[in-house]
Each structure stands twice: as C-alpha cells, then as structure tokens.
C-alpha cells in the first residue's frame, strides 16, 4: 500500500468519525429539544385538569360544577402558561449559546409603575380602574401585549412544541424502525425460516436496518439546525423587519408627508385669503380715508374729524383681525404657556360648559402642541354644532412617552368621520406624528373621542390642573 493510499484511507476514516460524532451530538441535542417540549405541553394540561377536578369535586353537590370547573381550569392553565413563557424562551436562548455560540440578547420594555390620579383612579397606561387589583392585572396584560420581547416569547411557547415534534419524529422513526428491522428480521428468520422463498436474507435485513439508523444519525444535526434557525427567527429582537413591513411603513410615511404638505399649502392659502379680504382691505380703505382727510382739513374740518374717527375705528378693527389671524396660526398663549393653559383658555371661550383636566409633567414639542390644540378646537366646535350636548369634558394625560387626549360630551352621539371633513382632518393632522384617532359614539350618546400619539417631553415644567368653564 502506497503512502498516498494510506493518507486517503486515514482521511476517509477521519471524515467518517467526524460525521458520526456530529450525528451523535445532534441526536443528544435533538433528544433534549424533544424532552424539553414535553413539560411545555403537559404542565398546562395537568394544571388545568387538577384545578378543574378539584373545583368540580367541591361544587358538584350544588349543581354549579360545570361553569366553575371550566373557569378554574382556564385560569390554572393560563397561569401555568404565563409562568412557562419566559422560562422556555430563556432555556432555548441558553441552548443556542452553548451549542452554536448564537447569543440572542433580550431587552424588555420598562414597565411603568401604576399611577393614581387626583380622582383616586388607577392609570394602567391606557385605561382607568377603581380597583387596584384589576388595574394591576390589566396593566400587566397591556404591557405584555405591547412589549416586543414578550410577544416573541409567547409565540415561541406556542411554536416550539410543534417544531420539536415535526423535526424529531422523522429522526426517531428512522432510528426505531431501523433498529427494529435489524433486530427482529434475523430472529424471525431463525424461528420460522424463510417463509417467503424470495424474501431477503437476515444479512440484508440487518444491513438495511443499520442504513436506516445511520440515516437518522446523519439527519439529526440538520433537524437541530432547523430548530435553532426557527428559534433565532422568532426570538431575535435585532432581526431586520420584513420587506412587507418596510413597504407598509414607507407607504404610510409617504401618505403622511403628502398630507402634511397639503395641509401646509391649504393653511398658507387661508392666511393669504384672510389677509386679502380682511386686514389688507381695511388698511387700503384707511389709506384712502387719510387722503380724503388731507384734502378736507382746510375746507371742511368737521368732516375731516369725522373721517379721522372712522379711520381710527377701522384701524382698531384691522388690528383685531390681525390678532385673530395670528391666534388662528399659533395662539400666543400656546407658545408662551403651553398646551394645558391654552386649552383651559379655549374652554372659557367655548359655546358649551367645558371641564378640563390636564396632567402634563413638562412642555411638549411645539408641533405636537399645535396639532393637539387645533384638534381640540375642532372637536369642541363639532360638539357645539352637532352633538346637542350640555357638557363637555377634556382630559389631557401624558404617561410613558404617550400623550392621550379624551374629549367627551353628553350629546346624541353617532359621530361619523365619513360624514364630514373635520374628523378626517384631525386624523391626517395626527398621522403626521404617528398618532391615532379613536371614536366611541353610539346612538343616544355619550360620545368619546380619543387622540393618542407618541411624543417626548420638551422642557422641565410640571402642570397638573383642573379647570371648569
């Protein structure tokens, strides 16, 4: 045997040993994956069965067993699932790090503390509750539903048992089937002889069984890799957004940018029209009046004095129109004192009695303040014109990077964005800041319209106040 042949044979043996070692590791890891999926499925079922059985045995004599049994089983199963969510995800992250060096950092959104407002209600981040226990549960569920890491862990809890079964069962079938074929065929041949003259010999059966087992060993690492890749896709927070998500986001930004540009152009046209038809016309008339006065000073002083009085009144009206125009562009109180004081002043001028509750830790960015202010102006005007209400409540609240404004009236209800341009204009105005408009209006009232938009605070000033108008 030449040196080249010996080298080639050693290389083949090394490759074969490496393949079987990799297959052995794959089998062990696949077995760990499959065994880890068992309690994920079994524990919630056992907890629900135990709780349901215990409640049923206690309440069966009172004919109340069915309803409370189902409630107890559902509650026990849900609690068990909640306890398993993070444990299963952390176990999978540990397996990925140990086996392949894949580290999936996890970062949970901070959960803001429950806050109690001036009226004694607990604020959960999206709703008020009188009971602290109910508020705490609602707060937890709301946070879990919005936290991206928790949502991915819940998805993995559902997906992982099915993935483990789909990937492990074929490999297990090859191993068990091959072992059974290799062991039982020679035994049957020795006990019963060749019943089928054309049947395979025991040696062929053994070889075929061993080949099936070898195929299972070879496929095991690939099954584990598939499981790992699936886990990485589900649990990886840093993964890139899908093409569909990016396309949708680009379309949304394009639409909101077009709306913002259109609104700006419409606002400029309105300002130009108001100046042309209002203050500019009055100033031109004042100039003509002053020219007439100049000619009358020597010939008719009495008429000149009358024209001077008219010119003074016209200049006062022109100044008031300019002030109204400036207030419509950006009210001075909004720029000087912020959204809360501006809305309280707006409530004083409202046609309906309006109660305002403001809880703003700091000043908001000027564009956000302007958008929310003019949205509230539109809502108060709509309530006065169309709702038939006797009272309006405005609640402005900032919590955890989110501004929430609620405008409620006790009118007839049935507010519909499709029946006018006001609510659609508010939607477009808020859309520029990724804000949303929610309407809760049934026949007979009341009507509650909620504006919600994400924003950061601007300057350090605390304002928590109530006002009635």
State the DSSP H helix or E strand holding residue 392, giving kind and residue range, or none if neither: strand 392-399
Q: What is the pLDDT of residue 411?
A: 83
* More confident: 274 or 323: 323
Mean pLDDT in residue range 46-74: 76
Rounded Cα–Cα distance for residues 334 and 369 (Å)? 8
CB 360 within 8 A of CB 338: yes
Rounded Cα–Cα distance for residues 125 and 403 (Å)? 10
Q: What is the pLDDT of residue 159?
A: 92
3-state per-residue secondary structure call for 230-276: HHHHHHCCCCCCCHHHHHHHHHHHHHHHHHHHHHHHHHHHHHHHHHH
Q: What is the pLDDT of residue 207?
A: 82
Q: pLDDT at residue 384 above 50?
A: yes
pLDDT digits (tens, 9 = 90+) for 422-445: 788 888 888 878 888 888 887 777
pLDDT digits (tens, 9 = 90+) for 73-87: 888 888 888 889 889
Q: What is the pLDDT of residue 370?
A: 85
CA distances from 172 to 2, 212, 219, 290, 292 (A): 42, 11, 10, 103, 107
Buried b (16+ CB within 10 A) or exposed e, 104-114: beeeeeeeeeb
The answer, as to whether pTM is greater than 0.85, is no
For the chain, the average pLDDT equals: 78
CA atoms within 13 A on the CB side of 353: 4
What are φ and ψ of residue 45, in 5° steps? -65, -45
pLDDT digits (tens, 9 = 90+) for 276-312: 666 666 777 777 777 887 777 778 878 877 878 887 8
pLDDT digits (tens, 9 = 90+) for 122-156: 777 667 777 777 888 887 888 787 788 888 889 99
pLDDT band at 161, cuts 50/70/90? Answer: very high
Record the tokens describing residue 32, joined without a space: 């760990």
Q: pLDDT at residue 274 above 80?
A: no
β-partners of residue 394 are: 356, 407
Q: What is the pLDDT of residue 463?
A: 45
pLDDT band at 455, cuts 50/70/90? Answer: confident
Q: What is the pLDDT of residue 212?
A: 87
């Amino acid at each position: 045997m030449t040196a080249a042949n010996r080298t080639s044979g050693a290389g083949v043996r090394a490759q074969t040993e490496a393949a079987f070692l990799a297959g052995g590791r794959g089998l062990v890891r696949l077995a760990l994956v499959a065994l880890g999926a068992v309690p994920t499925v079994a524990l919630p079922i056992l907890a629900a069965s135990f709780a349901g059985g215990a409640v049923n045995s206690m309440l069966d004599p009172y004919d109340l067993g069915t309803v409370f049994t189902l409630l107890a089983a559902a509650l026990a199963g849900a609690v068990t699932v909640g306890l398993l969510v993070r444990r299963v995800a952390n176990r999978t992250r540990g397996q990925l790090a140990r086996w392949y060096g894949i580290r999936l950092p996890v970062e949970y959104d901070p959960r803001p503390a429950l806050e109690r407002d001036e009226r004694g209600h607990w604020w959960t981040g999206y709703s008020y509750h009188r009971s602290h226990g109910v508020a705490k549960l609602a707060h937890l569920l709301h946070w879990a539903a919005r936290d991206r890491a928790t949502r991915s862990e819940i998805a993995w809890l559902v997906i992982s048992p099915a993935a483990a079964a789909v990937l492990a069962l074929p490999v297990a079938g090859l191993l068990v089937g091959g072992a059974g074929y290799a062991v039982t065929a020679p035994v049957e041949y020795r006990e019963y002889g060749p019943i089928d003259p054309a049947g395979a010999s025991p040696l062929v059966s053994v070889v075929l069984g061993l080949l099936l087992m070898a195929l299972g060993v070879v496929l095991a690492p690939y099954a584990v890799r598939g499981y790992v890749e699936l886990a990485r896709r589900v649990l990886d927070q840093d993964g890139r957004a899908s093409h569909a998500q990016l396309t949708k986001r680009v379309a949304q930004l394009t639409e909101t940018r077009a709306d913002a540009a259109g609104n700006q152009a419409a606002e400029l046209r309105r300002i130009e029209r108001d100046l042309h038809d209002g203050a500019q016309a009055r100033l031109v008339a004042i100039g003509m009046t002053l020219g007439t006065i100049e000619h009358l000073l020597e010939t008719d002083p009495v008429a000149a004095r009358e024209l001077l009085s008219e010119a003074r009144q016209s200049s006062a009206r022109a100044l008031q129109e300019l002030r109204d125009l400036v207030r419509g562009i950006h009210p001075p109180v909004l720029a000087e004192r912020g959204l809360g004081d501006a809305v309280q002043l707006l409530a004083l001028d409202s046609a309906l009695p309006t109660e305002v509750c403001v809880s703003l830790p700091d000043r908001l960015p000027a564009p956000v303040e302007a958008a929310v202010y003019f949205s509230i102006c539109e809502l108060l005007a709509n309530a006065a014109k169309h709702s038939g209400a006797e009272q309006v409540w405005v609640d402005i609240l900032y919590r955890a990077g989110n501004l929430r404004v609620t405008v409620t009236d006790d009118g007839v209800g049935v507010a519909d964005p499709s029946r006018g341009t006001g609510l659609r204009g508010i939607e477009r105005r808020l859309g520029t800041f990724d804000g949303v408009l929610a309407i809760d209006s049934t026949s007979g009232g009341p009507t509650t319209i909620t504006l919600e938009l994400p924003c950061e605070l601007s300057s350090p000033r605390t304002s928590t106040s109530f006002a009635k108008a």
